[in-house]
Structure 1
Amino acid sequence: MSDRRFRFGIVGSPRSGAEWTKTVRQAADLGYTTVLMPDGLQLPSPFPSLAMAAAVADIRVGTFVAAAPLRTPRAAAWEAHTLTVLTDGRFDFGIGTGRPVAEQQTAELGLPWGSPRERRDQVRETLDHLVKLDGEQRTPIMLAAGGPRALALAAARADIVSLAKDALTPRAEVAQLVHDLRELAGPRADDIELAMNLFAAGTRELPPWTKQAAGVDPDVLEATDSLMMLRGTPQQMADELQRRRDEFGTSYITVNSTFLEDLAPAVELLHGK
């Protein structure tokens, strides 16, 4: 379905400067093309964290994803444009309406949470501001899409779409999501890069915080054909990623930084493919 070559990213959550520097350099050395940061008050701010990452390695950086309600649209666009300028165009701006935990964090900042529609409008307004700030140097946009309204927004505005479904979503439902996205995108469908995020890779035992992060018990994940998982030998993982690219069109694969070494052999096998 996709003739795009694979590229790989890691999703990190640094606890110190030394740890973050080590992770970023390791990712670059192992063939990953992108370092991504989640957004939330429980973590370091993503924008300075990504500026630091871009300074210590020749690698792309991106938010995964910025929660629109945590900033005013103009402020979020300012932060994104700044990273595009300072990284010489190595920044991908991932933005979304915010996970449920962001509602309390928004209140801590003294900002309104808003209805789902208002938060989607906030994403659109942020992107409009960013277009004006960027001028000729355009920042690539990543949007996550799961529901119909998010899908429509992604079809209209995204360069990269991360397929956002829960851990136990059947393959047929993901395939339908991709079909609907392409239908909505129309003539720009082939310009959209499809991404898929992995919770775990390789053969290592799942960590105890799996249920909190994935919403499913580790044994349930292991027993199902969950697309959040990529298990097996390096060759088996590479074969499965090629199957997913053929089936869904996903060529941009991201993984929790805990498993960056586990996925690295498959990254090497798929280099340039």
Structure 2
Amino acid sequence: MTRPLRFGVVAPLRTDLPTWLAQVRRIADSGYSTLLMPDFPLLQPAPGPTLATAAALTDLRVGTWVYASPLRPAWLTAWEAHSLSQLTDGRFELGIGTGRPGIDDELRDKGMPAVPPRERLARIRETVRRLRDFDGPDRHTPVAMAVRGPKARALAAEAADTVTFVQAPDESRTEVTRLARDLRAVRDVELANAVSVIGDRVAPHMAPPDTDTAAARAADSLVTLPEDPAAAAEEIQRRREEIGFSYFVIGADFADTFAPVVAKLGGR
């Protein structure tokens, strides 16, 4: 099945509130489907209330990109996700992963115990189980998982609605293409391509600021897209046809310049 294209924007609140709210309105008016928030405690307001604010302001879908499972108990994440699904009338998507590099140091800084990798994955499984219990038979909160290793991919094939693959900026598309095909051979899930580099610009909170953009392009990495809208649109369609990606996620700093691509391809 060929899924319609949709586009999401990772838009942390890094400015004053009126400026961010104006940005949210522009994102909605430009045809993007989803507003997403990263999980960086203390660097921004908490994702839950921030996303609820955006959903009340616009008709955008909203979601986390992505909750780090070690930062909170499974039942708490599930309860918050179910609550957001209720408050947004079904427009919330729970994005969750095992945590970004350096998460153990972050846990120690916050006085929390380190969480072994195996337990992080088990916590994601438990979060989804509890979310389904909270939702009951009449609601289904979509779950997006950021995965890489075989155990994480197996869990995503079992329980996720959307899957994105964690990848290094200079990783070639060959291995990611293999991962995508293997996953879709098990189950037809939505595949999301997180694009952290457009041209020579790097999206904050999606990749390190010192990312070597030239090396990423030279590797034909899937974290990059051309700055030219026509070339970007062509590459997006190629990735859908050849790999199966139908959901493309970019940083908020790119949202205005990328809007012509969304206008051309959104919903196709």
- TM-score, length of structure 2 as denominator length: 0.92
1:245 has 2:240 as partner: yes
Q: What is the match of residue 3 of structure 2?
A: 4
TM-superposed deviation, 1:194: 0.5
Q: 1:48 to 1:149 in 2, by over 3 A?
A: same
CA distance in 1, matches of 2:179, 2:203: 31
Match for residue 162 of structure 2?
Answer: 160
Once the 2 structures are TM-superposed, how far is the Cα of residue 147 of structure 1 from its aligned partner?
A: 1.6
1:69 deviates by 1.2
Change (3 A) 1:117 1:207: closer
Identify the residue that residue 79 of structure 1 maps to in structure 2.
Answer: 80
Pair 106,243 (structure 1): closer, same or farther in 2 beyond 3 Å? same
Secondary structure of the equivalent of 2:146?
Answer: strand
Paired positions, count: 265
Distance 1:32 1:74, change over 3 A: same
Residue in 2 aligned with 1:229?
224
Measured in 1, the distance between the counterparts of 2:206 and 2:44 equals: 19
Q: Which 5+ residue runs of structure 2 have no aligned equivalent?
A: none
Match of 2:96, SS state, is strand
Name the structure 2 match of 1:20: 20
Structure 1 position 100, deviation (Å): 2.6
Of residues 215, 232, 250 in structure 2, which corresponds to 1:255? 250
RMSD: 2.1
Uncovered stretches (5+) of structure 1, i.e. residues with no partner:
none
Q: Measure the CA separation in 1 of the matches of 2:7 and 2:177.
A: 21
User: 1:269 matched to which residue of 2?
Assistant: 264
For 1:88, the equivalent position in structure 2 comes to 89
Q: How does 1:1-273 map to 2 (within 5 A)?
A: 3-15=2-14, 16-41=16-41, 42-135=43-136, 136-183=138-185, 186=186, 189-190=187-188, 192-201=189-198, 203=199, 205-206=200-201, 213=208, 216-273=211-268
Going from structure 1 to structure 2, the CA distance change for 1:122 and 1:211 (only over 3 Å counts) comes to closer
* 2: CA distance, partners of 1:119 / 1:174: 23
Structure 1 Cα separation of the partners of residues 240 and 233 of structure 2: 11
SS state at 1:27 partner: helix
Q: Is the 8 A contact 1:199 1:214 kept in 2?
A: no
Partners of 1:33 and 1:169 lie apart in 2 by 27
Distance 1:177 1:34 in 2: 25
Deviations 1:201-234 (A, max 9, x none): 3x5x426979962663233234442211111422
The secondary structure found in structure 1 opposite 2:151 is helix
Q: Is the 8 Å Cα contact of residues 144 and 164 (structure 1) preserved in structure 2?
A: yes
Q: Distance in 1 between matches of 2:266 and 2:169?
A: 27
The TM-score, its normalising length taken from structure 1, stands at 0.90
Give the fraction of aligned pairs with identical amino acids, expressed as a percent.
43
Give me the whole-angstrom Cα distance separating, in 2, the residues matched to 1:106 and 1:66: 14
| Aligned partners of 1:146 and 1:163 also within 8 Å | yes
Q: Secondary structure of 1:161's partner?
A: strand
Map Cα deviations across residues 232-265 of structure 1 (whole Å, 9 max, x no partner): 4222111110000011100000101111112111
